[in-house]
Structure 1
Amino acid sequence: MRLSRGSAPRFWQRGVPAALALAALTFTTPAATATPATPAATATPADREAGCAHPSRLRVPGAEYQRSACLDELTTAGTVASGHTDPADWAGLTPKDLAVPRGVPGIQIDGYFPDTSATNTNHGWQHDAQFVIRLPDRWNGGLVVAGTPGNREQYANDRAIADWVLARGYAYAATDKGNTGLAFHRDGKAPGDAIAEWNDRVTELTRAARATVAQRYHRPPSRTLVTGMSNGGYLVRWQLENHPELYDGGVDWEGTLWRADGPTLLDFLPKALRAYPVYAAGGDGAAEAARALHAAGFPAGSEFLWPYHHKVYWDLTQRIYREELDPGFDGAVEAGTPFCASGTPACDTDYDYAARPAEVRRAVGKIALTGRIGEPLITVHGTLDALLPIGQDSDVYARMVREAGRGPLHRYYRIEGGTHTDALFDTFPDKLRPLTPCHRSAFTALERWIGQAGRPPASRTVPLPAGADPATLLTDCSLDGRDHLD
């Protein structure tokens, strides 16, 4: 089946997935700052006409179903109107003042790989393992692969990552990770299987996308980069540890940390759920509760973010990921009882990962990280992350990389004033900075690193510029005082 230019597939009608756990937020820079890297190959008008005459001739290896379209615009400046993205998938994930690059014609391929689950209803397919591959006419020789944040679908990174890298000339591929939504934990036969599938689906897509790129441009990509935020950042780490042969490097944006001996979110979120109601109530116990939250990893200075995270993220995230990895905790109840008070039977507020049976650690072991990366990796993480506290996540992962003897392959930038969700910058522009420009500075630094044009700045805490106005913070993040967006 072929999607004609301008056709609009019908998407599942759902609300903005603002409560999807571990959904990191980004934005795109104005077209003027999204200058493509020097193209290694540029399609001629004749080549474009030939490619778009029969886009369905491109076959994605292993795909069970696919459909292709030639589009005048591959960025969200055009795909919203043409129906080749799902705004509900990335709604709420970018600051309101974000400009969108445009002027990127090319081919888009949508489809899915064989799978037995059906949580993703995009296009009316009722089928998981959905993917999107975008092939710009003006190609710079590279491929960017991304897995989605949270439990979102394959279009979740369209504003955050795809728009910008497509404007730079990269081919782009993204996967829904094989299961989506708040009941993702129903997938798989055993605890940990649903998350383990995420890793397999990124590997699968990377191999297929590389082959598809070679078909379109008559040569394989000269560089393949993997990037993503939150759960997507976890996927970057895992891929570079387990399949470095597929990539030239990656950018990890506040990736989720999983390790059998902790820390994981199953360690610190129950502590937050116990302490926050006491803190919020005020009175004699509030100061002690605040100390408990700080001790759990939630940084001093992030208190203004706690009400939102308690309402939207902490409880939901704890319950659905605990259900995936430790379903026996609450017996036949699925994903616990929302916002249950401490002392309630089988309440996630009282969950104690360290006291759980060994089989729970074995489930986490299926998805655990080691730090043994095999290609260059750059990590960015905000110091005010109130969902995955930096001291319990990327600080630990950076140490794991060093202890594994892979420190020379890693750069780690702690971004002062950054939090887990960039959209909160709209609410607190005087207290936060968006991480998107920092991700992009890291991405361009990675390009230079793997291109042997210069090593990135040393790992460091990147200070929040004194007196910087919101417009500047939306478009700039200097990693060393000189490293600006191209």
Structure 2
Amino acid sequence: MRLSPRPLPRPWRRCGPAALALAALALTPVPAAATPASSGGGPCSQLSSVRVPGAEHQEAACLDDLTTAGTAASGHTDPVDWAGLTSKDLSVPSGVPGVQVDGYFPDTSTTNTNHGWNHDSQFVIRLPDRWNGGLVVAGTPGNREQYANDRAIADWVLSRGYAYAATDKGNTGLGFYRDGKHPGHAIAEWNDRLTQLTRATRAAIVRHYHRPPSRTLVTGMSNGGYLVRWQLENHPELFDGGVDWEGTLWRSDGPTLLDFLPAALRAYPAYAAGGEEADAAREALHTAGFPAGSEFLWPYHYQVYWDLTQRIYREELDPGFDGPTEAGTPFCAPGTAACDADYDYAARPREVPRAVRKIALTGRIGKPLITLHGTLDVLLPIARDSDVYARMVRQAGGGSLHRYYRIQGGTHTDALFDLYPDRLRPLAPCHRTAFTALENWLTTGHRPPASHTVPLPADTNPATLPNACSLDTRPETTSSTTH
């Protein structure tokens, strides 16, 4: 779907959780000293030595520029995959030469058509010539493919000298739920594939740079943020820390999107129609978790996200709800047989929470984690997602390892800022600031500011917001920048 004045996230072309993601504190980057990738003939003379353990197929290329400024032209990224995830004015670096490895691990599903491979569990690994010793790994948002984070995350971390790796999570697209033998297996594979890629990339780095990474960080937005949480809970030995950008919350006793999206689907038509029932419908949406002040975002999310997200994730976790019908009936009216607007997770058979338990989060993180979430997120409402997860971390005893920043005016996809620059703020610059804060936390022991709500700058300027964000607790001004 394309709306003027610029492309917005195409529904279910890998966006959101199905498609599916502070004034004066300037945090100084402290990566390890950059070093050449190899000696002698240079990195390109060693392409034959770049091996990704466990890969069924791989192709290595020496590139003049590993960022999207170069890979979009050379065919080593897919611009459609990252369209709509960032503000058009986000500053992106360029000029990072190095080696890119594209490939895939053994898998039986075929939803990912990149390179004409028609093979899932595809990955991309980028190894800059001048390496700072670190590795950043990421899973993709929504059901997008391995290049989805290239503009939002990869460009920036590569420019700082990090090696970078990303996975398609093992299945992609609208029909991702067809993968796996049992409910919940398609999502569970996402976690396994990121673990697999992390281990394989660490080994490939040793072969390429002749030493292991000194630091391994995990990050991602939306479903990618969920993967950050899961990895730090289940495989903290692989990572030094992570940044979670509006991660999806799954827990067997809720809340999950299967709780609040049906409520939105029931209430929104009456709200949109106006009349006597509109006020009650608005209140029902607020009660479901969609915050007051976010109403201007509801029409787009109803049309693009809410209905489809509910249907395809419900199909993954509860296919029995609509019997032989696959992923329900789009925009069905409440009262229609097997209508997702009437879905009641709490009333479903115990097999359903059992499926959710396969992918559930616990809050028991084992390494430092920074979470960012926009207060105007109306795909994963903050009160039903990251507010809950922050409580889970505290209750599990991990509060000292966690920082949580509620970004006032942030919403789920930064491209919406370009349509509403006077009402929203993008989260990408906040992610960069948080990432830098994590670096300092790990390398110098300087702890980031306490968890809090980050207000909009007092002198909000849409021209500077795409590239300015401070985590400081003091009043913010747009004149300050941290990157």
Q: TM-score, length-normalised on structure 2? A: 0.93
How far off its partner does 1:152 sit? 0.3
2:67 maps to what in 1? 75
Aligned-partner SS, 1:194? helix
1:410 maps to what in 2? 402
2:185 maps to what in 1? 193
**1:135 equivalent in alignment to 2:127:** yes
CA distance in 2: counterparts of 1:137 and 1:156, whole angstroms: 23
1:255 maps to what in 2? 247
Instruction: Summarize deviations over 1:135-159 as a string: whole Å, max 9, x none.
Output: 0011111000000000000000000
CA distance in 2: counterparts of 1:320 and 1:474, whole angstroms: 32
Contact 2:20 2:144 in 1 (8 A): no
Contact 1:75 1:166 in 2 (8 A): yes
Residue 245 to residue 484, structure 1, CA distance change in 2 (3 Å): farther
How far off its partner does 1:88 sit? 1.2
**1:219 equivalent in alignment to 2:211:** yes
How far off its partner does 1:213 sit? 1.1
1:352 maps to what in 2? 344
Alignment of 1:188-337 (within 5 A): 188-337=180-329
Instruction: Summarize deviations over 1:204-256 as a string: whole Å, max 9, x none.
Output: 00000111111111110000000000000000000000000000000000000
Residue 47 to residue 307, structure 1, CA distance change in 2 (3 Å): same
CA distance in 2: counterparts of 1:193 and 1:215, whole angstroms: 33
Instruction: Summarize deviations over 1:435-470 as a string: whole Å, max 9, x none.
Output: 011111110000000113400000000001123211
CA distance in 2: counterparts of 1:259 and 1:285, whole angstroms: 33
2:441 to 434, 446, 449: 449
Q: How much identity, in percent, do the aligned residues show?
A: 77
How far off its partner does 1:326 sit? 0.1
Contact 2:257 2:310 in 1 (8 A): yes
**1:152 equivalent in alignment to 2:149:** no
1:9 maps to what in 2? none
How far off its partner does 1:485 sit? 2.1
**1:42 equivalent in alignment to 2:39:** no
Aligned-partner SS, 2:314? helix
1:59 to 39, 51, 61: 51
Contact 2:20 2:143 in 1 (8 A): no
Contact 1:144 1:227 in 2 (8 A): yes
2:16 to 12, 17, 22: 22
Give the count of matched residue pairs: 465
Contact 1:25 1:94 in 2 (8 A): no
CA distance in 2: counterparts of 1:105 and 1:357, whole angstroms: 54
CA distance in 1: counterparts of 2:407 and 2:29, whole angstroms: 25
Aligned-partner SS, 1:423? helix
How far off its partner does 1:51 sit? 2.1
Residue 219 to residue 340, structure 1, CA distance change in 2 (3 Å): same
Aligned-partner SS, 1:95? coil
How far off its partner does 1:39 sit? 4.2
What is the one-letter code of the residue matched to 1:122? Answer: N
Contact 1:55 1:69 in 2 (8 A): yes
2:166 maps to what in 1? 174
What is the one-letter code of the residue matched to 1:43? Answer: P
RMSD: 1.8
Structure 1 residues without counterparts, runs of 5 or longer: 1-14, 27-32
Contact 1:34 1:167 in 2 (8 A): no
Instruction: Single out whichever of 233-242 and 94-103 deviates more from structure 2.
Output: 94-103
What is the one-letter code of the residue matched to 1:227? Answer: T
Instruction: Summarize deviations over 1:350-386 as a string: whole Å, max 9, x none.
Output: 0000000000000000000000000000000000000
2:430 to 432, 438, 448: 438
Instruction: Summarize deviations over 1:14-52 as a string: whole Å, max 9, x none.
Output: x986102525797xxxxxx999754434217x7383320
CA distance in 1: counterparts of 2:35 and 2:94, whole angstroms: 17
CA distance in 2: counterparts of 1:50 and 1:168, whole angstroms: 20
CA distance in 2: counterparts of 1:395 and 1:67, whole angstroms: 42
What is the one-letter code of the residue matched to 1:154? Answer: Q
1:11 maps to what in 2? none
CA distance in 1: counterparts of 2:261 and 2:325, whole angstroms: 20
What is the one-letter code of the residue matched to 1:329? Answer: F
Higher relative contact order (CA 8 A, sep 6+): 2
What is the one-letter code of the residue matched to 2:16? Answer: L
What is the one-letter code of the residue matched to 1:158? Answer: D
Structure 2 residues without counterparts, runs of 5 or longer: 1-6
Aligned-partner SS, 2:201? helix
Residue 189 to residue 452, structure 1, CA distance change in 2 (3 Å): same
Residue 38 to residue 375, structure 1, CA distance change in 2 (3 Å): closer
1:84 maps to what in 2? 76
Contact 1:68 1:107 in 2 (8 A): yes
**1:485 equivalent in alignment to 2:482:** yes
CA distance in 2: counterparts of 1:39 and 1:72, whole angstroms: 23
What is the one-letter code of the residue matched to 1:93? Answer: L
CA distance in 1: counterparts of 2:293 and 2:333, whole angstroms: 26
How far off its partner does 1:100 sit? 2.5
Contact 1:17 1:89 in 2 (8 A): no
CA distance in 1: counterparts of 2:223 and 2:190, whole angstroms: 9
Contact 2:107 2:120 in 1 (8 A): yes
Residue 162 to residue 186, structure 1, CA distance change in 2 (3 Å): same
CA distance in 1: counterparts of 2:228 and 2:215, whole angstroms: 15
What is the one-letter code of the residue matched to 1:22? Answer: G
1:106 maps to what in 2? 98
What is the one-letter code of the residue matched to 2:235? Answer: H
